[in-house]
Amino acid sequence: MHSKSFSSVRTVKSGNSFSKNRGKSASQNSNRHKSSISKSKGSHVPFGSAPRKSASFGGARSNFGRGPKRFRGVKKATMDPNKFIKKAVPVAEVEEYVAKHKFSDFRLCQELKNNILAKGYETPTPIQDQAIPHALDGRDIIGIAATGTGKTAAFIIPLINKVFVGQNQKVLIITPTRELASQIDKELREFSREMRIRSVQCIGGARIGKQISDICQNPQFVIGTPGRLNDLIKRGKFRTGDIQSIVLDEVDRMLDMGFIDDIRTILSNLSQNRQSLFFSATISPRISLLIQSFMNSPVTVSVKTAVTSDNVEQDIVKVGFDKRKIDVLHEILIKPECEKVLIFGRTKRGVELLSKELNIRGFKTSSIHGDKPQNKRERALRQFKQNDLNVLCATDVAARGLDIDDVTHVINYDLPENYEDYVHRIGRTGRANKRGTALTFVS
């Protein structure tokens, strides 16, 4: 696949799950859009107009729907576009990891083993194979593994066992995003089915009153984001002194998002006699400082992964000065192979505007970003997972940790802040030995 193929894309009429407007050309939909704007009485930002404040994808003025001209005066990404071009490697060429254990070999209670078997799991992934024995021994662990390697089960399984066989054991799991907290909670409930283990999510964007009520019920697992957890601690509603185990998941992402002070505050209130499990894709100097301050002789488990998924075909989409960015995106999305597409943008407002514009053009689309109410974020993610939506527009809150089946394409409508963010974004496709495609818009 070469970027030239996207400079002039043939209009394709589609009979799949997109609505009837999906098959229309960008020019037809642009004219229809202009007409609909005149009737909307200001309910939608006019296509191509500039909001008073910086709102969308990387510009001091709005870049929504425009080509590269609107990037004047804006700090451009300096990454080499060639980094976004890579052919997929045939699955047969990827060397398989040979696990040393099966789940039946681990020192787990029979109830937990039954639930693992019911989920269809027999052989652990590399991070699970190496981390679970140390976690069962009560050791502190530094797990270095990318998202999508099965690390949630690597800490959930031994901690469920610890809670089930122990007395008054309590676990705190901290994640950078609400979506990841919800996903961990869902996996926890599946692994602990009929084991009388209770959990509560403490995340922003949801009613704090209900969370306070749930915490008062003395759950064994508390799963939350740093800001909300600190809020509950300050209110005196969440006491951390009786936490025996703590998990920090996606530590590097939490530090990138500015949660370092919140995390330090939470960790400083914990009992010294605890088990600490830190999982991160990378170990930066700041993470090393956390480790030195809050861990006791940790075991390091590192799973080697490719820099980017070998199953992902990566290419760039060049947007010329004579093309509007939104029209180029439209012509890509009407291609029949674009069955389930995750589009990343830089700003919350820009992602929301893009989602609305694609809906007007006939695509079944929703959005996920930090300004969206939690119930709507959960509904959008659920609809995308269930294929009720074909396109999901998101900021980097969806770049890590989320396990979504059968995403055929990831499109970087805006360049990521750095190459590491790019790797995490495109990791949403090409999962479970399936092929995926990643396209990155460049000027």
One domain for residues 371 and 349 = yes
Partners of 144 in the β-ladder: 280, 302
What element of type H or E holds 442? strand 436-442
CATH number at 363 reads 3.40.50.300
Beta strands in 127-274 (DSSP E): 141-144, 171-174, 199-202, 221-224, 245-248
One domain for residues 240 and 121 = yes
Q: Please state the domain count of the chain.
A: 2
pLDDT of residue 326: 94
pLDDT of residue 275: 95
Residue 311 and residue 148 in contact, taking contact as beta carbons nearer than 8 Å: no
One domain for residues 330 and 424 = yes
Phi, psi of 108, rounded to the nearest 5 degrees: -115, 150
One domain for residues 109 and 212 = yes
One domain for residues 260 and 327 = no
One domain for residues 294 and 238 = yes
Q: Which of 259, 278, 302 is the last residue of a domain?
A: 302
One domain for residues 295 and 341 = no
pLDDT of residue 28: 54
One domain for residues 338 and 276 = no
One domain for residues 315 and 349 = yes
Domain of 399, in residue numbers: 3-90+310-442
Tokens of 304: 């080697």
One domain for residues 234 and 102 = yes
pLDDT of residue 90: 60
The pTM (predicted TM-score) of the whole model is: 0.66
One domain for residues 317 and 289 = no
Q: Which of 272, 302, 332 is the last residue of a domain?
A: 302
**Which residues lie below 8 Å from residue 103, measured CB to CB, with a gap of 6+?**
113, 116, 117, 121, 122, 123, 124
One domain for residues 204 and 143 = yes
Per-residue pLDDT of the chain (443 residues; tens, 9 = 90+): 434 344 333 333 333 444 434 545 555 554 444 433 333 333 333 333 333 333 333 333 334 554 444 333 334 446 777 778 887 766 544 467 788 999 999 999 999 999 999 999 999 999 999 999 999 999 999 999 876 788 999 999 999 999 999 877 899 999 998 888 998 999 999 999 999 999 999 998 888 999 999 999 999 999 999 999 999 999 999 999 889 999 999 888 888 778 888 998 899 889 888 999 999 877 888 888 888 888 989 999 998 655 556 789 999 999 987 789 999 999 999 999 999 999 999 999 999 999 999 999 999 999 998 888 888 888 998 899 999 999 999 998 777 767 788 999 999 999 988 887 888 888 888 876 788 999 999 98
